[in-house]
Structure 1
Amino acid sequence: MWRVTSTFALGERLALPTATCLTFRYKSSAFQEPKKSRQQPYPQPSVPFRGAERGSFFQEQPNVGNVYQEDVVLQSFLRRMLPDSVFQEISPDLESFGARVGAEIHEVGLECERNLPEHKPFDAWGNRVDQLLTSEAWKKQKNIAAEEGIVAIPYENKHGPWSRVHQVAKHMLYSSSSGLYSCPLAMTDGAMQFFRGSPKTASNPIFANAFSRLMSRDPSKFWTSGQWMTERRGGSDVANGTETLAFPQPDGSYKLHGYKWFSSATDSDMTLTLARIVDPIGHYVQGTKGISMFFVEVRKPDGSLNGIEVQKLKDKLGTRQVPTAELLLDGADAILASEEGRGVRAITPMLTITRLHNSLSAASAMRKILQMARDYSLRRKAFGKAIIDHPLHVQTLHRMEVDTRGAQLFVLDTARLLGLEETNQATEEESLLLRIVTPLLKLYTAKMAIATISEGLECFGGQGYIEDTGLPGMLRDAQVLSIWEGTTNILSLDVLRSVVKTNGQTLQVFFNSLESKLEAASQSNFVELKEASKRLQGSSNNLKELLKDALNEGPTFMELAGRDLAYSLSRLYIGSLLVEHASWTEATQGDAFVAQRWCEQDLCPVVTNFNNGHYSQTGQLQNRTTVMEGYPQ
């Protein structure tokens, strides 16, 4: 039978006209309500991907720790080269900064790429506003750079020639986590070098103010500088590519009119740029002799742009964090910074600085990807064990380590030479050596960085290809290193130019330096160093013999061999630095192994390729025939 009672509201559920309270209960002698079992229900099997669950395994990400403590080659170089009093003074700074990079700056750098700069040309009412919008992380990097004295250190000059080494070491810790803020800092350092060497800085209050701001440690006063040299024709040929005109004004200043096709760090506070001065009858000089350097403050006192229109932000493969733009100079107020017609010459000391920065960025990125890959190898398991326990993986990391140590020592040794040069303590031989190794350093470390970072991404498997990890951006950003401040071929020609202009003195000094570094190996107890030294000496002798004959081959031969020559000189020099470092009394067995492995490669590809006929007329013809094959002419 059915019993009807009124116990709870079912009006809505039954769609009754009123909220009637009903309960239906069926009672029968044959069918009783089941009694609750006292037994526990059977356990349900674990279903790893049920509902909102995502499985039980989550890969632990690599850790970025104290990047100074983890960099044994940087520490050992500083202990070996610096006076003990200097090392004891700067080491705590690097120690604390290395911790700050891992705890704070690394994440700020990643945020710079997550929030890229934007250009707002007009407001809602059609007014030209040219707002350049950058992220808070980008602005924070500027404050960090000021507080830490990344630009200021060599100009404060607390440690004489070692101040530059201190700066480069610190920037090497910073660069790869700076979110590419290292780019405006490089140009700022270049501008500082220009102002320090200019007699106008002391006499011109505008230049003196700029100099003090560029080296300030106060974030509210700190300036960065751009370098707006590249125009539509682009490339390194600024003598024929500069079309910007400078019109003299009654007060001695100038108005600039031109189009800057590639202006990195458009958000900088000031810039140095090139233009041709127009005389009263409208004439100006073509070629190198017509180019002068000008100082421009990017904004007027009221905050508006100084006769500058931002046409567009560049859509680049990498370095997207840096606001790079095409700019129209339409009457920008400027002050002549160089001597009239000496603008290209004024660039030279700036190039030395920016090429060094390019190289330290390369070495920094190599070290960072390797540190992360090493840490990851302890956290990632494959085939039942951590990948650090797979010998093939360790071999890959070791080969990356060899290249990274070579790049770091090359950068630090060049910083040592630059420190001596800019404090007037360099000998003539050291100045000549700096002249030839600077382009070698830039061209070779750039190529090493691209290869090493690409290899490093493989160490993370598929995660190395995923944007969220921040790893792919490292490879994109590295690609520009072989283009900025001169391509590989341009720098190879610059090496040849240094040889020709000094009547071969730079080469002679280079080989002398090589031999002096190898002498230390004879006193070492490491057997590996003796073999490495022997290979270096033999390759050096072969190169000398080739160069004697090359002088009779003519300029075409030298140009054709220029790139391979630059690679050969770079490999020999890095090899000598590794041998020298491993010959130090406190060197480790690892230092000796690194030197040995480096010297096992072909140290002189220019000799090998000469013997294979790469530079002969037949070889040139084969090159062109192969390249143009199938192309309609």
Structure 2
Amino acid sequence: MSEFFQEAPGLKNQYTEDRLLQAYLHWRIPAMVVSNMTAHLTHLGQRAATDMLAWADEAEKNPPKHIPYDPWGKRIDHIETCNGWKQLEGVAAEEGLIAAGYERKFDEYSRIYQMALLYLYHPSSAIYSCPLAMTDGATRAIELYGDDYLKNKAYRHLTSRDPKNFWTSGQWMTERTGGSDVSGTSTIAKKVGDHYELHGTKWFTSATTSQMAMTLARIEGADKGSRGLSLFYLELRNDKNELNKIMVHRLKDKLGTKSLPTAELSLQGTPARLVGGEGGGVKKIASLFNITRVYNSVCALSHMRRGLALAKDYSQKREAFGRKIIDHPLHVETMMDLYVDYAASFHLVMRAVELLGKEECGKATEEESALLRLLTPVIKLFSAKKCMSVTSEVMEVFGGAGYVEDTGMPRMLRDAQVFPIWEGTTNVLSLDILRAIEKENAFKPFMKELGHRLQGIMKEPMAGQQLKGEVQAIEKSLKDLESYFHKIASGGTGGLEDLQTSARYFAFSVGNIFAATLMTEFALHTKDLRDIETARRWCTRNTLFEVPETSQSHRFSNAEIIKGL
């Protein structure tokens, strides 16, 4: 009797194997522009399935180490990373993961191009995409608010394609008082001559091996709360390559993202440069974390895609009950449901990327900018939650092997959990959506865009033939969402509290309906039966609009229930 060994899943070129990405690019970008992008995307798609995988595996097996002292007892706080981690940094520079967004070679399509590169890079990067997210955010903040010194030094390093000159940046906001609520920031900036010195503790700092960081601090004598915060730039090391009065207390022992160095540290008089003048730090750093939220969304999206790619390949190799599992109807049905969640996230995220590219090139209208402000938290919370559920289901495809560490699947699940937490939790983002609506009247351009898209959809003959019921479901859900919003918004203080209570449901309803519209529009463009079925499933499988009735008495009873747990 021959001994059986299960063949492991494998990967092919991650660009040429991705039908949705290719079809989307040809839908939204002029043919000549796509033609100029294709060779590079194909090249990186191949690297994502070959040399990058080996380096990522090395980085995962050799996590960073904190070395507080040298052999003679001198405090050095060196964070040691392996060769694989350094090689992945080199890939990011060589392939222009940051540069592509700022060279703007493809004008307003440059962000789409860059995020397509990130989408291919992330799943094979051992989460090096995290330092890149903060690097891109810092680059944008310097582009908007930096002085000549920062633009001539830091900006040039951040956008370099030369691995020897390329810099990454940290984003140091989180203190012991909390994460997203930065009003309690206790780091103090003291003016010393022509610069500032920072004193305080940062409880959670990713990309701690970067050359620079952007951080919030309160200038001595400034107002309390968020209003008194300013944005600062600091370099981690001095001319002697010693830490700039920074003490690293420890590396964080996290659930996932093990290869990524994340530290707790203190600033002990660290030299820093004020960015964009005193005050307004929260507004300025918002330009940074708006970029990192887009990164989080694209990475969650590509995390799902990698899981599906592995599951598809394994399904064609694994036999159960006398046939390949790809031939079992229930398995196919399950995989289709996962693909639909991924596709909905894809279209939603990429629409925000389109708007970001237009805004940065000065081609977005005021309404489009307001819509981007609304969509940014929507895509982050939406894609993150879908990523968690899809990744969990993908693990089941591998059965018991999916629960074994050295298959890599448990790591995928642990890493997926970070997406709903980084850059704002689901509740924080849901309330941020309400702020976008309140401060920028963003609900109006949302309704206008979807109304315009639905009008275009109804002009397509196929809409009435194959997707009539789905279009009607979108129209009804959109009408219900609008009625709900105006009803609640007109309710005064009580209405505002009701809207806050149901903010998560409202946020997901916005995402569900927008995704349904984009998927339907895409299907009518490609006329591909696979895309038509995907849109149909999304519209019929989900309740696109679902917001529970809330009232003050219900909130009181719910609070009492929770307190009594």
Q: What interval of TM-score do these two structures reach, taking the shorter chain for normalisation?
A: over 0.9
Say whether the 8 Å CA contact 1:524–1:583 is kept in structure 2.
no
Aligned residue for 2:215? 273
Aligned residue for 1:450? 388
Change in 2 beyond 3 A, CA 1:265/1:620? same
Aligned residue for 1:246? 189
Aligned residue for 2:237? 299
Say whether the 8 Å CA contact 1:539–1:604 is kept in structure 2.
yes
Query: Following superposition of structure 1 onto structure 2, how do residues 64-463 of structure 1 map, counting pairs within 5 Å?
Result: 64-198=11-145, 200=147, 203-204=148-149, 206-239=150-183, 241-250=184-193, 252-278=194-220, 283-463=221-401
Aligned residue for 1:545? 483
The 2-side partners of 1:122 and 1:366 are apart by 41
Q: CA deviation at 1:199?
A: 5.2
The SS at the match of 1:169 is helix
Say whether the 8 Å CA contact 2:173–2:179 is kept in structure 1.
no
TM-score by length of 2: 0.97
The SS at the match of 1:94 is helix
For 1:184-232, what per-residue CA distance to the aligned partner results, in whole angstroms no more than 9, with x for missing partners? 00000000101111251xx22x442110110000000000000111111
For 1:555-574, what per-residue CA distance to the aligned partner results, in whole angstroms no more than 9, with x for missing partners? 21111111110010010011
Aligned residue for 2:555? 620
The SS at the match of 1:149 is coil
Name the stretch that deviates more: 519-528 or 389-398: 519-528
Aligned residue for 1:596? 536
Aligned length: 559
The 2-side partners of 1:364 and 1:550 are apart by 36
Say whether the 8 Å CA contact 1:253–1:333 is kept in structure 2.
yes
Say whether the 8 Å CA contact 2:123–2:299 is kept in structure 1.
yes
1:525 aligns with 2:459: no
Aligned residue for 2:429? 491
The SS at the match of 1:379 is coil
Change in 2 beyond 3 A, CA 1:85/1:476? same
Letter in 2 for 1:132: I
1:581 aligns with 2:518: no
The 2-side partners of 1:285 and 1:418 are apart by 33
The 2-side partners of 1:393 and 1:471 are apart by 18
The 2-side partners of 1:147 and 1:548 are apart by 50
Say whether the 8 Å CA contact 1:143–1:219 is kept in structure 2.
yes
Say whether the 8 Å CA contact 1:169–1:412 is kept in structure 2.
no
Say whether the 8 Å CA contact 1:529–1:582 is kept in structure 2.
no
Gaps of 5+ in 2: none
For 1:245-303, what per-residue CA distance to the aligned partner results, in whole angstroms no more than 9, with x for missing partners? 111112x111111101010110011001111112xxxx343122221111111111111
Say whether the 8 Å CA contact 1:272–1:293 is kept in structure 2.
yes
Percent identical among aligned pairs is: 43
Say whether the 8 Å CA contact 2:158–2:167 is kept in structure 1.
yes
For 1:429-472, what per-residue CA distance to the aligned partner results, in whole angstroms no more than 9, with x for missing partners? 21111111111011111100000000111111111111111111
Q: What RMSD, in angstroms, separates the aligned Cα atoms of the two structures? A: 1.3
The 2-side partners of 1:529 and 1:165 are apart by 28
The SS at the match of 2:50 is helix
Letter in 1 for 2:513: L
The 2-side partners of 1:207 and 1:156 are apart by 14
Letter in 1 for 2:534: V
The 1-side partners of 2:179 and 2:92 are apart by 30
The 2-side partners of 1:604 and 1:618 are apart by 23
Say whether the 8 Å CA contact 2:143–2:151 is kept in structure 1.
no
The 1-side partners of 2:524 and 2:451 are apart by 14
Bigger proportion of residues as helix: 2
Aligned residue for 1:465? 403
The 2-side partners of 1:598 and 1:331 are apart by 54
1:536 aligns with 2:536: no
TM-score by length of 1: 0.87
Letter in 1 for 2:413: L
The 2-side partners of 1:217 and 1:376 are apart by 36
The SS at the match of 1:547 is helix
The 1-side partners of 2:195 and 2:537 are apart by 58
Name the stretch that deviates more: 350-359 or 540-549: 540-549
The 2-side partners of 1:351 and 1:339 are apart by 19
Q: Relative contact order: is structure 1 or structure 2 higher (C-alpha 8 Å, sep ≥ 6)? A: 2
The 1-side partners of 2:392 and 2:315 are apart by 17
Q: CA deviation at 1:496?
A: 0.6
Say whether the 8 Å CA contact 2:213–2:233 is kept in structure 1.
yes
Say whether the 8 Å CA contact 2:146–2:275 is kept in structure 1.
no
Letter in 2 for 1:557: D
The 1-side partners of 2:48 and 2:142 are apart by 30
Name the stretch that deviates more: 63-72 or 621-630: 621-630
Structure showing greater radius of gyration is 1
The 2-side partners of 1:246 and 1:627 are apart by 41
Q: CA deviation at 1:524?
A: 4.1
1:479 to 395, 417, 426: 417
The 1-side partners of 2:76 and 2:51 are apart by 34
Letter in 1 for 2:155: F
Q: CA deviation at 1:61?
A: 0.5
Aligned residue for 1:560? 501
Letter in 2 for 1:515: G
Say whether the 8 Å CA contact 1:288–1:341 is kept in structure 2.
no
For 1:132-168, what per-residue CA distance to the aligned partner results, in whole angstroms no more than 9, with x for missing partners? 0111110011000000001110101111000000000
Letter in 2 for 1:244: T
Gaps of 5+ in 1: 1-45, 47-54
Change in 2 beyond 3 A, CA 1:151/1:193? same
Runs of 4+ in 1 over 4 A off after TM superposition: none
Say whether the 8 Å CA contact 2:382–2:508 is kept in structure 1.
yes
